[in-house]
């Protein structure tokens, strides 16, 4: 197998700043306002040899929180969706599931080769080891600065895994900063194209700066694939051109792009417990669920903040069914309609957390703890939204420092007691 060489050339950006000024060369950025009301019709899902629990197709819970008959009209029930004009397309869930399957198969294939970690040392050009350590150290610093609790959690992982997670974290953070950071107004689709070209360099062993060098090393050492990284950039493209989501199918795809991808990137590094009987796909699916749950929570917490930027991530059809509109969001009034709507959004986010939690037990022992801690912490934001009487307009739901600190020992205890490896049948629904 041809192995790409890791070349650590003179670093262009040797600092802890997340510098990517090189990517920001153009100004402008289009915003598309898509305000159609689209209803999906039911189509029977084709049975597959394997089948994963589907939160989108689950008939016990459909998003709008209306009566069962009304819910039926809104939910996505199949791998195909049909819009009112009769156009048929593949549902977001199906698209994402295809990526999950491919990722799981790739990970299994690469692990079977067994050469992945062994060849690592030969791939580093002699004399660059110290630079590489320096690069990982920069990633550690960024992670410690931007995500303190999560950073503490990573300290519980093995040294190889933790530094790989830091490198992935930094790449994700930099990517997110492109559209969410101080230079966001200068970011254009072609800037994102350049960021993607740079990513391809990383995977080909041609890192551009120190942070990239750490990631380049990580993707050679672990069976990490480029697809989720490209998809995250796709999510940023989506953010540039879209400020409304017609329905949950559209929102789900966005959540996959910007957060579900993080789960897919992390699994090959965190590793599946050798004693786990779960299928690789089901673990990937749980990781995806955690990313989706986190992003849905993030969206609910930031409704007011996003509205002030002209953005409404909440599904338009569900808002309409609840008797709400963008104007209600912009006026920021906590009405009973709003409370009911939020209750159902929170319920859905919790279902994704629940699905994710099943997968934690299947991770390597040292990875279970930080993942569960981050899950418990993020899920608590939903409790805080409730405690704020659903006022996401003027209050920002947050988890106190004391509660954050408690999350680590709590998660540790729970991984020992509640998260023994599961049997295959418990994770994979027939």
Residues that bind ligand LST6JFWI (CB under 6 A): 150, 153, 165, 168-169, 172-173, 176, 258-259, 262-263, 266-267, 283, 286-287, 290-291, 294-295, 298, 356, 359-360, 363, 370-371, 374
Q: State the DSSP string of 293-359.
A: HHHHHHHHHTHHHHHHTT-EEEEHHHHHHTT--HHHHHHT---HHHHHHHHHHHHHHHHHHHHHHHH
Structure tokens at 239: 């953010």
From first CA to last CA, the distance across the chain in angstroms is 37
Least spacing, CB of residue 336 vs ligand LST6JFWI, in Å = 28
Least spacing, CB of residue 297 vs ligand LST6JFWI, in Å = 7
Least spacing, CB of residue 308 vs ligand LST6JFWI, in Å = 16
Q: How many DSSP H helices and E strands does the chain contain?
A: 20, 4
Least spacing, CB of residue 171 vs ligand LST6JFWI, in Å = 8
Which one, 303 or 363, has the nearer CB to ligand LST6JFWI? 363
> DSSP H helical segments within 42-128, as ranges?
68-74, 92-113, 115-118, 120-123
Buried b / exposed e over 10-24, threshold 16 CB at 10 Å, is ebebeebebebeebb
Q: Say which DSSP state 186 is in.
A: G
Least spacing, CB of residue 142 vs ligand LST6JFWI, in Å = 10
Nearest residue to ligand LST6JFWI by CB is: 359
Closest by CA position to 232, among listed 182, 152, 174, 166: 174
Which one, 78 or 260, has the nearer CB to ligand LST6JFWI? 260
- What span, in angstroms and rounded, lies between the C-alpha atoms of 137 and 38? 48
Structure tokens at 174: 């930099």
Least spacing, CB of residue 290 vs ligand LST6JFWI, in Å = 4
Least spacing, CB of residue 45 vs ligand LST6JFWI, in Å = 24
For 90, the enclosing helix (H) or strand (E) is: strand 88-90
Give every CB contact of residue 59 below 8 A, 6+ residues apart in sequence.
75, 77
Least spacing, CB of residue 43 vs ligand LST6JFWI, in Å = 30
Structure tokens at 238: 């989506």
In 160-256 the beta strands, taken as DSSP E runs, fall at 244-245
Which one, 166 or 248, has the nearer CB to ligand LST6JFWI? 166
Longest CA pairwise span in the chain (Å): 67
Which one, 40 or 222, has the nearer CB to ligand LST6JFWI? 222
Which one, 74 or 165, has the nearer CB to ligand LST6JFWI? 165
Which one, 178 or 324, has the nearer CB to ligand LST6JFWI? 178
Which one, 169 or 211, has the nearer CB to ligand LST6JFWI? 169
Least spacing, CB of residue 286 vs ligand LST6JFWI, in Å = 4
Closest by CA position to 210, among listed 5, 12, 4, 6: 12
For 163, the enclosing helix (H) or strand (E) is: helix 159-180
The residues with which 315 forms a beta bridge, in sequence order, are 245
Which one, 240 or 290, has the nearer CB to ligand LST6JFWI? 290
3-class secondary structure per residue, 250-286: HHHHHHHHHHHHHHHHHHHHHCECCCCCCCHHHHHHH
Which one, 126 or 182, has the nearer CB to ligand LST6JFWI? 182
Least spacing, CB of residue 73 vs ligand LST6JFWI, in Å = 29
Which one, 214 or 322, has the nearer CB to ligand LST6JFWI? 214
């Amino acid at each position: 197998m041809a192995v790409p060489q890791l070349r650590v050339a003179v670093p262009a950006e040797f600092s802890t700043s997340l510098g990517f000024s090189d990517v920001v060369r153009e100004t402008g950025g289009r915003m598309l306002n898509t305000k159609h009301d689209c209803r999906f019709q039911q189509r029977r899902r084709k049975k597959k040899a394997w089948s994963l629990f589907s939160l989108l197709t689950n008939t016990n819970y459909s998003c709008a929180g209306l009566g069962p008959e009304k819910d039926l009209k809104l939910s996505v029930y199949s791998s195909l969706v049909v819009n009112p004009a009769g156009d048929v397309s593949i549902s977001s869930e199906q698209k994402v599931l295809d990526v999950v399957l491919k990722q799981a198969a790739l990970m299994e294939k690469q692990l079977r080769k067994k050469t992945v970690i062994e060849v690592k040392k030969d791939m580093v050009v002699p004399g660059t080891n110290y630079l590489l350590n320096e690069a990982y150290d920069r990633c550690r610093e960024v992670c410690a600065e931007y995500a303190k609790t999560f950073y503490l959690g990573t300290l519980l992982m093995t040294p190889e895994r933790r530094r790989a997670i830091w490198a992935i974290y930094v790449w994700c953070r930099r990517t997110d900063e492109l559209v969410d950071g101080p230079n966001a107004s200068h970011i254009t689709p072609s800037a994102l194209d350049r960021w993607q070209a740079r990513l391809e360099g990383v995977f080909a062993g041609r890192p551009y700066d120190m942070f990239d060098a750490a990631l380049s090393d990580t993707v050679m050492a672990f069976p990490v694939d480029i697809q989720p990284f490209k998809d995250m950039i796709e999510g940023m493209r989506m953010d540039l051109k879209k400020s409304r989501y017609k329905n949950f199918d559209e929102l789900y795809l966005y959540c996959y792009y910007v957060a579900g991808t993080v789960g897919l990137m992390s699994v090959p590094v965190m590793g599946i417990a050798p004693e786990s009987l779960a299928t690789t796909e089901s673990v990937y699916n749980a990781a995806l669920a955690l990313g989706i749950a986190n992003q849905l929570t993030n969206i609910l917490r930031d409704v007011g903040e996003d509205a002030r930027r002209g953005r409404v991530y909440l599904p338009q059809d569900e808002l309409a069914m609840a008797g709400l509109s963008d104007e209600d969001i912009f006026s920021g009034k906590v009405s009973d309609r709003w409370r009911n709507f939020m209750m159902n959004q929170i319920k859905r986010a919790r279902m994704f957390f629940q699905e994710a939690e099943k997968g934690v037990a299947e991770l390597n022992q040292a990875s279970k703890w930080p993942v569960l801690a981050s899950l418990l912490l993020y899920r608590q934001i939903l409790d805080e939204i409730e405690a704020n009487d659903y006022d996401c307009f003027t209050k920002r739901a947050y988890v106190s420092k004391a509660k954050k600190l408690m999350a680590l020992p709590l998660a540790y205890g729970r991984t020992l007691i509640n998260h023994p490896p599961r049997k295959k049948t418990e994770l994979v629904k027939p």
